[in-house]
Structure formats: C-alpha cells, structure tokens
Amino acid sequence: MVVGLGSGSTSAHFVRELAKLKLDIIGVPTSSATEKLALDLGIPISHRTTSALDLAVDGADQIDSS
C-alpha cells in the first residue's frame, strides 16, 4: 500500500502510530521532516509522483464555516 504522509504535528502522531502497526507500506512524505521521521521509525519512503496513492493522511491546519 502506498500512503501519503502529511506534514505537521498531527501527521507526526499518525506516522508514529502507523510505524507501530508494522504494515507492508511505502510512505510518500510531503516534507523533509516527515520523511526523516518515517525513515527513523522504519517506514520505507518513495517520492512517487506519477502513481495514485492508496491513502493520504494530513492534519487540518485551518477550518472555517464555509
């Protein structure tokens, strides 16, 4: 499974929990900080840009009424 790994503190929590699951995944990070965290936790990384992701997870930075 190819998983898009977002940026920021909420995404970092997700990456840490994801690593604990020991799933057969490849992460596609949106930042160098997320890439470093994923690699440090044993999640393989790819920089695929031409294939669709199976799942992408990122935090909500801003929410408004519209």
- Check pLDDT > 70 for residue 66: no
Domain map (residue ranges) of the chain: 22-49
pLDDT tens string 3-56: 999 998 889 999 999 999 999 999 999 999 999 999 999 999 998 767 789 999
Long-range own/partner contacts, residues 36-42 (CB < 8 A, 24 or more apart): 37/12, 38/5, 41/15, 41/16
For residue 16, what pLDDT is reported? 97
Please give the model's pTM, rounded to 2 decimal places.
0.84
**Cα separation of the two ends of the chain:** 33
For residue 12, what pLDDT is reported? 93
